[in-house]
A and B are shown apart, each in its own frame.
Chain A
């Protein structure tokens, strides 16, 4: 069965990627699955300088999901290039680096450090992290902000550039169009939804940052709707994510218009879920007599 899909010039062997910040650098899951069976791995958000992230506590369980306030903890792009990249570059899957920053110069700087690495299939520009004070989501909430980052990164990165959008906006299609206009090869959506939880007995916020990002199946219907809207608003491929827990959910995003999907929080529930989704899509295509995975993209029928 031909499961391959194309994100601009990049060909993925199948549409199933893992989402940034939920799968480490892939290695954390090597005991559980064959990483080479994935369409791609989007690594943890990478910044120019190392970041300690936000203070503990950073997590609250919610009905059908969780809030996180990690705040882009990572050891910086140099550490990635020198220590992590050599360990994962041999993998037979698309390695995508999630690029984050507090300023446009930060984003461009990360891309400059990544240049010359042969096995980086694409970058995913994160203009949607709700857990940092500067940069992050603020670039993703206005068309002007999105355009300024995306066009600057476009000049610094000749390869495939995915732009990751925040759902915390009035009209996500406008931001998607701005990213497309500024040279994005694809958009991925959604990042987490801004949320909050209170420990009522202690009358204190559960997260150290008070607010955090909501993920998991509780956000899925909203994310599916946004993917459907955006796929009609732009010509570039859309990568769908938000609460995918199984193969059915992945197919749902593709029917709504996604060319590929990312699996995030579900990896915490079942560390083998990503490859199970690949198997499900194969079985689904056979069962529905569809020739390949591309036949699923936007194939929802409205009678």
Chain B
């Protein structure tokens, strides 16, 4: 069941100058159940220039808290990153169709930049289901590697940075884990070029692979048909309802 709810910022944890983790708690309402890979639509507080809500992945959620990990991309995400403790945010949730949980074998979760956000909760859920999970986190430089401690607490975590300041030197796609390890399933979220490169490797190696898309959205609930992705079987489908998570076999990526 989708809801429109007010949340209050309990804590704004800044990660360097470019990211913020908002720890929110519901005001006079209870959290609906959410699945990893689902997202929320957040109203931008005190903004003179934005109009629509902003889609943000659920980083973590339980009955008392909702975490959003946000990167500054423009006016809307700036205002969200600057939201002080006590700010009330109006949020529509939970939205979309998340990652598959009924996966088997060795599972690799690949995240790039702020795209690691939905992978934390996904990893936790898979681990509780007794699945073997490894994380591979990519970033430009070490300060862009977010929530490393939390990932490490959840499972075996490898890092790749483009400048070599942490972990493997190079893009995640050149990491030995992705190139050689025994993997049955990949879940991936990050910048488009990264997801396309990971998808190409998965295809080549015959690994089942899901990616989370960030198409531009207006409503977030399947009403406006702005967010469509062209798919193999069904043509244009809404990323906000059929996605944001898609199996790469469904996408017309070249």
List residues of chain A with CB under 8 Å of any chain B CB.
21-24, 28-29, 31-32, 44, 52-53, 55-66, 68, 70, 73, 216, 265, 267-272
* CB-based contact B51/A63 at 8 Å: yes
Closest chain A residue to B52, Cβ basis = A61
B4 at the interface (CB under 8 A from A): yes
> Do residues A268 and B218 form an inter-chain contact, with CB atoms below 8 A?
yes
- Total A-B Cβ pairs within 8 A: 90
Q: How far is the CA of A63 from the CA of B3 in the complex (A)?
A: 27
Closest-CB distance, B1 to chain A (whole angstroms) = 5
B250 → chain A closest CB, angstroms: 15
Which residue on B lies nearest to A27, using beta carbons? B222
Partner of A272, one of B4, B53, B230: B4
Within 8 Å CB of A70, what residues of B? Answer: 224-226
B216 x A31 contact (CB < 8 A): no
Closest-CB distance, A103 to chain B (whole angstroms)? 23
With A32-B2, A57-B216, A268-B52 known to touch, is A68 a contact of B236 (CB < 8 Å)? no
Within 8 A of A (CB), among B59-105: 92
Chain B: minimal CB distance from A242 (Å): 15
**Interface residues on chain B, number (Cβ under 8 Å):** 29
Q: Which residue of B lies closest to A69 (CB)?
A: B226
B221 interface residue per 8 A CB criterion = yes
Asked if B34 is an interface residue, CB under 8 A from chain A, the answer is no
Q: Which of B53, B224, B230 contacts A68 (CB 8 A)?
A: B224
**Which residues in A have their C-beta under 8 angstroms from that of B4?**
32, 270-272
The 9 listed contacts between A and B (C-beta, < 8 Å) are A22-B224, A23-B223, A32-B3, A55-B230, A56-B215, A73-B228, A73-B236, A267-B223, A269-B53
In the complex formed, the residue of A with least CB distance to B54 is A61
B157 at the interface (CB under 8 A from A): no
CB-defined contacts of B3 to chain A, threshold 8 Å = 31-32
Residues of B within 8 A of A272 (CB): 4
* Chain A residues within 8 Å of B230, by CB: 55-56
Compute how far the CA of A58 lies from the CA of B219 in the bound complex, rounded to whole angstroms: 13
B229 → A minimal CB distance (Å): 7
Smallest distance from the beta carbon of B193 to chain A beta carbons, Å?
A: 15
Given A58-B228, A70-B226, verify A31-B1 contact (CB < 8 Å).
Answer: yes
Min CB distance A29 to B, Å, is: 7
> Is B206 close to A, CB under 8 A?
no
Are B228 and A66 in contact, CB atoms less than 8 angstroms apart? no
Contact call B2/A59, Cβ cutoff below 8 A: no
The 8 closest A-B pairs by CB, nearest first: A59-B226, A24-B223, A31-B2, A268-B219, A28-B223, A58-B226, A70-B225, A268-B218
Known A58-B226, A63-B49, A73-B228; 17 more pairs at CB < 8 Å: A22-B219, A29-B223, A31-B1, A32-B4, A56-B215, A57-B215, A57-B216, A58-B225, A58-B227, A60-B216, A61-B51, A68-B224, A70-B226, A73-B236, A265-B218, A267-B219, A267-B223
Q: Which of B180-238 contact A (CB under 8 A)?
A: 215-230, 235-236
The smallest beta-carbon distance between A114 and chain B, in angstroms, is: 21
Does B143 interact with chain A (Cβ within 8 Å)? no
The answer to whether A68 and B51 touch (CB under 8 A), given A59-B216, A271-B4, A271-B221, is no
Does chain A have a CB within 8 A of B50? yes
Contact in complex: B51, A66 (CB < 8 Å): yes
Bound complex: CA of A15 vs CA of B53, how far in Å? 27
Partner of B51, one of A29, A55, A62, A267: A62
Give A24 Cβ to nearest chain B Cβ, in Å: 4
In B3-51, the 8 Å CB interface with A consists of: 3-4, 43, 49-51
